[in-house]
Chain A
Amino acid sequence: MSETAVHFGKRPGNPLNRRVWKDLLSDWKRYLMIFIMLVVTIGFVSGMYVANNSMMTTLTDNVEKLHQESGHFELSKKADSNLIPALETGEKADVVSVFRERAYEEAEEKVTEAVNEAVEENVREQVRTVITEQATAAVEQQLAGYAEMGMAVSDEQRQSAIDEALDTAMAENYDKAVEEALKTAYESDDYKTALSDAMKEAKDEIDKEINEKYDDLAERYELNKDFTPVPVKIYELFYKEQTELISADASYSGKIRIFNDRTDIDMYDILEGRKPENEDEIIIDRMHADNVKLKVGDRIKAGNAEFTITGLAAFVDYSTLYEKNTDTMFDALTFNVAMVMEAGFERLSAPLHANYAFEYKNKPADVIEEKVLSDNFLKVLITQTAVTENETEIKDYVPAYANHAITFAPNDMGSDEAMGGVLLYIFVAVLAFIFAVTATAKLEKEASVIGTLRASGYTKGELVRYYMSGPLLVVIFASIVGNVLGYTLFKNVVTAMYYNSYSLPTYETLWTPDAFVRTTIVPIILMLVINFIVIIRMLRLSPLRFLRHDLKKTKRKKAVRLPKWKFFARFRMRVFLQNIPNYIMVFVGVCFVMLLLSMAVGMPETLKYYQNSMTDMMFAEEQVILLTTEDEYGNTIETSTEGAERFSMESLIRKSDTLDEEISIYGIVDGSNYIKIDTGADGVYISDAFAKKYSIAKGDTITLSAKYENKEYKWKVYDIYDYSASLAVFMPNDMFNTEFGRKNGEFSGFMSDAHIDDIDEKYIAKTITGEDMLKIAAQLDHSMGAYMVYFQYVCVIVAAIILYLLTKIIIEKNERAISMVKILGYSSREIASLYLVTTALVVFVTEFAAIFIGYKAMCVVWGVLLMKLGGYFAFVIPFSGFVKEFVLVFAAYMIITVIDFIRIRRIPKVLALKNVE
């Protein structure tokens, strides 16, 4: 052969690129698992982002479109004609001047009366004296004439004559003389001077008193603080509350808040049907309708009035059905919001709630500005109602930004989004590490090939690109499929979840670049970076080290000496030592699954525990809060219910940046059967729930604020009271009355284990029973309960996939060794006991640690979650819950063990003998 016969060909494309596809195909089970996990996660999170973004955009647009309020307030009675215009100016009332003027007016009346009384007394005295003197003189003169005539007059006769003359003179002249004298006196300068002096003195006294009290007034009404007027437009948004009964379902009873026809503010989106047109028609909240299975055309009763439902709506100010802003949780099960026409509103017999919505004339740019406006408007409201003449009180004040009924749904979506994002990244990171471990195992397995390729002149870059291509392709495809599913299937799943909890309007699906970046770009980059770091670190080694299979970063250590265990035990220990990095991944993966599982198992368990033990938690079965403690005849309201005892109650606010939480303050009578506290204690008791939620310990000082006054209460915590049903402070009733400036012996209502039925309803403000407290748990259970069960299954699948991927690596790494022990004559069962028992033991031990870590992590997450919600109930997983978590993951592992056993059985004996490289 000669050199001239040499023929050259074309440079082929990189065969490693073709190999990428072959790699994916040859290991399709592994990549399919990862692909599915990524698609589901990316799809769900992408769906969540798309749903959230679409819904949030709709909600934001609706603020303008449906004319959402800037806030609302409720007064004890309809505002008088002066109050609304005064409030709309946005100016604070000059409380000091008004109080001063009123005091002056009152004083003027009293001073004039006092001066006139004094003048009249003086005049009458003077007139009496003059008439007496004149009458006496006339009688004396007459008697002197008699004496000259020689007539003797005795002293008695003389006195009798004087008295008679005086009586006659008084009867004839006194009143007239007094009247004339008074007239002269009132016209005299002396009188005017005296009156003016007295007034001056009285005013001085008033000024002195007001000046002395100014600091107190200034503090209460924040008179000296910076204030910018907040002009607003105020709208009547009156409502009435009635018992809701469903004509077709006798067992149901709830509460319905019915608004008068809304025309200007807080409008609504009718999702089905039409608005009411006559007095017999009503539209109700869509969410509540779904929950109680009401539809258009059904009839409901509000008190005694029956209505036909003509539409199901989402009211812009009730995207979440919070009955009261201070409620721990919304209640779309037994609370409904509705709207009727004016004539329909008249049909309702319940008392009117003088509720007003307001709208800032100058819209705030952000929440911070909104808070300033709201604080200022509250000052306007407080001062203007304080100076109103018909003694109006503020019953409620809720600015929009702090209104849970408005903000809870978007906030929840926001936190869901954040949580979903975090879960996605943790998940992608876990998968990236699985990829990285897989890549490491692959690099170790192919060390000779890599060495040869590097020796032949392949650059590190070419090999890095090749080894990263597989995982990246999987992530890219998964991202594409995930996004497509996100925009279609999962978006609907997420919106269905939201529609199942909130009263949301109809929305339009929007392209969400953010979703694409977070669910596609970020996972790809995350995967890229983690894989790049792992692969580049290994490929930094010289080709020679690859050829020699010398891939350990550190110099090879001597074999770890093991105790004189039996052969199998030592073998297993060697398997363990050899696979420590993989077992670390097993640990991380199982911890991740356990965190998810803690939520999936713990949430329903916590709700169940709470529902079951609520009755035990309540210190009394019933608490009746009275509107007044005196009946219309002035008698103190009493109950003859056995065991009922008086108590006092006030609500204060614990302020924080995230949430102003309502705390109930109880005044407890001496020797109470329901709450046993030391009446001589130096400080107050706080409930266990309060202590836990805000990490308050004995000896700490708590600071609470009055709701609508700038007044603070500071108390030292004497002890923690074992009461988990609500956030409460307990103190002796006497201390309560002193603290809140009440009269000695005053009280707010009765607590009793027996039902109190002998107090007229008109005196009762509200009755708190275990049922009310359970609303939270019922709503949470309704919103999340069903999903949590699915979530448990998802966790098991995720656990199975993670364990599948990791045990696969461990077995692959040991394929040749397994093949060799097969040749030596070990049975598949024995081999399984060497390799699978080690992993089983690791999973077993890992599970214990992971359950603990997952539980602790979930407690932290729970705490953070509750910080945004009112109320508290501890995250509880009973022992059976832990067992369930353990069993679920171990069951997943057992399935994988079967697959692994089949894998081991399929390893051919010739593998150990074959030079495959």
Chain B
Amino acid sequence: MSEEERKFLEVKNLKKSFGSGDTKQDVLRGIDFTVAKGEFCVLLGPSGSGKSTLLNILGGIDSADEGDIYINGDRLSRMDEKGLTQYRRKHLGYVFQSYNLIPNLNVKENIETGAYLSDKPLDIDELLKILGLYEHRHKLPNQLSGGQQQRVSIGRAIVKNPDILLCDEPTGALDYTTSKEILRLIEEVNTKYGNTIIMVTHNEAIKLMADHVIKLRDGKIRHDDINTQKITADELEW
């Protein structure tokens, strides 16, 4: 792996606070880490540790007070709003805990909302099969289970074949079995399409399937470990 690939994502001294004066709260207090291309990185931490804020800043939908982010050599902090929108459009995919699907578009059309953003999207039918949704492609979101809806939202994010897939607690609202299905899917996507995946979770067990585990607490990185003995999603237990 080249140096460039090893530092595909580089975060330097990232700081972020909310409020001012007495109510000022430091959420991120100098974060530094790198993520390699194609790596499955998990951001772990309890509520309020700053992991979601970090993910939002990485995704260009929130801004840091200090510090820099480089993704594949591009400096995010230098980009204006339009630049960030284009950056997200071309390079990022987002998966949230709530699926945020468009209620009156069917499964396929919801995925097409992602495909439309890319000049070279993945083959949708093939993706639907990978997602296990091909049979449900004409259904509306309210006809699907939570797990199926989350699959659609992953499909929507991945269809444009983004460089980085950002996942914010994607299994947070799901039961054990469904969560494992989703994790299996993310793993499969990571393997098949080679996207860099950064996943925020408070589920300690998930770290076992990640290449790279970063633990946050009180806005600081407490552990930054490379997992050399990762297991498959199927093998996870919690």
Q: At the interface with chain B, which of A35-43, A454-462, A557-565? A: A454-462
A-contact bits for B182-193, CB 8 A (1 contact / 0 none): 000000100111
**Which residue of chain A is the closest to B141 with respect to CB atoms?**
A916
Q: At the interface with chain A, which of B29-37, B68-76, B89-97, B213-221? A: B89-97
Are B116 and A5 in touch, CB under 8 angstroms? Answer: no
Given contacts A3-B194, A455-B59, contact A9 B121 (CB under 8 A): yes
Given contacts A455-B59, A456-B93, contact A917 B101 (CB under 8 A): yes
A542 lies within 8 A of chain B by Cβ = yes
The size class of the interface chain B forms with chain A is: 35 or more
List B101-135 residues whose CB lies under 8 Å from chain A.
101-105, 109-110, 112-126
List A1-41 residues whose CB lies under 8 Å from chain B.
1-3, 5-16, 18-19, 22-23, 26
A547 lies within 8 A of chain B by Cβ = yes
Residue ranges of B at the interface with A (Cβ–Cβ < 8 Å)? 56, 59, 61-62, 82, 85-90, 92-94, 96, 98-105, 109-110, 112-126, 141-142, 146, 149, 153, 156-157, 160-161, 173, 188, 191-194
- Which 8 A-B pairs rank lowest in CB-CB distance, beginning with the nearest? A457-B89, A9-B123, A452-B100, A457-B88, A7-B123, A1-B192, A15-B112, A448-B100
List 19 additional A-B contacts (Cβ < 8 Å) besides A8-B123, A18-B109, A455-B88: A3-B193, A8-B122, A9-B115, A12-B115, A15-B105, A22-B104, A449-B100, A449-B102, A451-B100, A452-B94, A452-B100, A455-B61, A455-B92, A456-B113, A457-B86, A457-B92, A459-B89, A916-B103, A917-B99
B-contact bits for A536-580, CB 8 A (1 contact / 0 none): 000000111001000000000000000000000000000000000
**Which residue of chain A is the closest to B104 with respect to CB atoms?**
A22
Residues of A within 8 A of B161 (CB): 6, 8
A453 lies within 8 A of chain B by Cβ = yes
Are B113 and A16 in touch, CB under 8 angstroms? Answer: yes
Are B142 and A453 in touch, CB under 8 angstroms? Answer: no
Are A5 and B104 in touch, CB under 8 angstroms? Answer: no
A915 lies within 8 A of chain B by Cβ = yes
A914 lies within 8 A of chain B by Cβ = yes
Residues of A within 8 A of B120 (CB): 8, 11
**Which residue of chain B is the closest to A25 with respect to CB atoms?**
B104
**Which residue of chain A is the closest to B126 with respect to CB atoms?**
A7
Alpha-carbon gap, A458 to B88, bound state (A)? 9
Alpha-carbon gap, A457 to B113, bound state (A)? 10
29 A-B pairs with CB atoms under 8 Å apart are: A5-B192, A6-B161, A6-B192, A7-B126, A8-B122, A8-B161, A9-B125, A9-B126, A11-B116, A11-B119, A11-B121, A12-B115, A15-B112, A15-B116, A18-B105, A23-B104, A449-B102, A451-B61, A451-B100, A454-B61, A457-B85, A457-B89, A457-B92, A459-B85, A460-B85, A915-B98, A915-B149, A917-B99, A917-B101
Residues of A within 8 A of B194 (CB): 3
Are A11 and B118 in touch, CB under 8 angstroms? Answer: yes
Are A457 and B124 in touch, CB under 8 angstroms? Answer: no
Are A449 and B101 in touch, CB under 8 angstroms? Answer: yes
Alpha-carbon gap, A452 to B92, bound state (A)? 12
Partner of B105, one of A19, A544, A914: A19
Partner of B102, one of A19, A457, A459, A914: A19
Residues of B within 8 A of A543 (CB): 61
Residues of B within 8 A of A446 (CB): 102
- Chain B nearest Cβ from A912, distance in angstroms: 14
Partner of B124, one of A9, A16, A26: A9
- Chain A nearest Cβ from B133, distance in angstroms: 15
Residues of A within 8 A of B62 (CB): 542, 544
- The number of residue pairs between A and B whose CB atoms lie closer than 8 Å in the complex comes to 130
Are B59 and A458 in touch, CB under 8 angstroms? Answer: no
Chain A contact residue count (CB 8 A cutoff): 41
B-contact bits for A353-371, CB 8 A (1 contact / 0 none): 0000000000000000000
Partner of B192, one of A3, A12, A458: A3
Are A11 and B101 in touch, CB under 8 angstroms? Answer: no
Partner of A915, one of B102, B123, B146, B193: B146
List A722-751 residues whose CB lies under 8 Å from chain B.
none
- Chain A nearest Cβ from B79, distance in angstroms: 13
Alpha-carbon gap, A683 to B59, bound state (A)? 86
Residues of B within 8 A of A3 (CB): 192-194
List A370-427 residues whose CB lies under 8 Å from chain B.
none
Alpha-carbon gap, A5 to B189, bound state (A)? 12
**Which residue of chain B is the closest to A9 with respect to CB atoms?**
B123
Alpha-carbon gap, A449 to B96, bound state (A)? 11
Are A13 and B121 in touch, CB under 8 angstroms? Answer: no
Given contacts A11-B121, A15-B105, contact A542 B61 (CB under 8 A): yes
Alpha-carbon gap, A23 to B109, bound state (A)? 14
B-contact bits for A450-484, CB 8 A (1 contact / 0 none): 01111111111000000000000000000000000
Residues of B within 8 A of A13 (CB): 116
Which of A19, A451, A457, A458 counts the most chain B CB atoms within 10 A? A457
**Which residue of chain A is the closest to B38 with respect to CB atoms?**
A3
Alpha-carbon gap, A448 to B141, bound state (A)? 14
Are B98 and A917 in touch, CB under 8 angstroms? Answer: yes
**Which residue of chain A is the closest to B97 with respect to CB atoms?**
A915
Residues of A within 8 A of B149 (CB): 915
Alpha-carbon gap, A457 to B93, bound state (A)? 9
Alpha-carbon gap, A454 to B105, bound state (A)? 17
Residues of A within 8 A of B126 (CB): 7, 9
Given contacts A457-B85, A457-B117, contact A15 B109 (CB under 8 A): yes
Are A6 and B193 in touch, CB under 8 angstroms? Answer: yes
B-contact bits for A508-526, CB 8 A (1 contact / 0 none): 0000000000000000000
**Which residue of chain B is the closest to A22 with respect to CB atoms?**
B104
Alpha-carbon gap, A457 to B157, bound state (A)? 10
- Chain B nearest Cβ from A592, distance in angstroms: 32
- Chain A nearest Cβ from B198, distance in angstroms: 14
Alpha-carbon gap, A7 to B89, bound state (A)? 20
- Chain A nearest Cβ from B199, distance in angstroms: 15
- Chain A nearest Cβ from B121, distance in angstroms: 6
Residues of A within 8 A of B102 (CB): 19, 446, 449
Partner of B113, one of A23, A448, A453: A453
Are A1 and B119 in touch, CB under 8 angstroms? Answer: no
**Which residue of chain B is the closest to A452 with respect to CB atoms?**
B100
Residues of B within 8 A of A5 (CB): 192
**Which residue of chain B is the closest to A457 with respect to CB atoms?**
B89
Residues of A within 8 A of B188 (CB): 1
Alpha-carbon gap, A348 to B116, bound state (A)? 87
Are B115 and A458 in touch, CB under 8 angstroms? Answer: no
Given contacts A19-B105, A456-B117, contact A1 B191 (CB under 8 A): yes
Residues of A within 8 A of B85 (CB): 454, 457-460
Which of B59, B98, B122, B149 counts the most chain A CB atoms within 10 A? B98
B-contact bits for A476-495, CB 8 A (1 contact / 0 none): 00000000000000000000
Alpha-carbon gap, A916 to B105, bound state (A)? 12
Alpha-carbon gap, A10 to B120, bound state (A)? 7
Alpha-carbon gap, A7 to B61, bound state (A)? 30
Alpha-carbon gap, A15 to B109, bound state (A)? 6
Alpha-carbon gap, A12 to B123, bound state (A)? 10
Residues of B within 8 A of A26 (CB): 104
Are B192 and A456 in touch, CB under 8 angstroms? Answer: no
**Which residue of chain A is the closest to B157 with respect to CB atoms?**
A456
B-contact bits for A887-917, CB 8 A (1 contact / 0 none): 0000000000000000000000000001111
Are B142 and A914 in touch, CB under 8 angstroms? Answer: yes
Partner of B104, one of A19, A448, A459, A547: A19
Alpha-carbon gap, A456 to B102, bound state (A)? 13
Are A8 and B121 in touch, CB under 8 angstroms? Answer: yes
Alpha-carbon gap, A639 to B64, bound state (A)? 104
- Chain A nearest Cβ from B93, distance in angstroms: 7
Partner of B96, one of A15, A452, A454, A457: A452
Alpha-carbon gap, A9 to B122, bound state (A)? 5
Residues of A within 8 A of B110 (CB): 15
Alpha-carbon gap, A23 to B104, bound state (A)? 8
Alpha-carbon gap, A544 to B110, bound state (A)? 20
Are A544 and B100 in touch, CB under 8 angstroms? Answer: no
- Chain B nearest Cβ from A67, distance in angstroms: 66
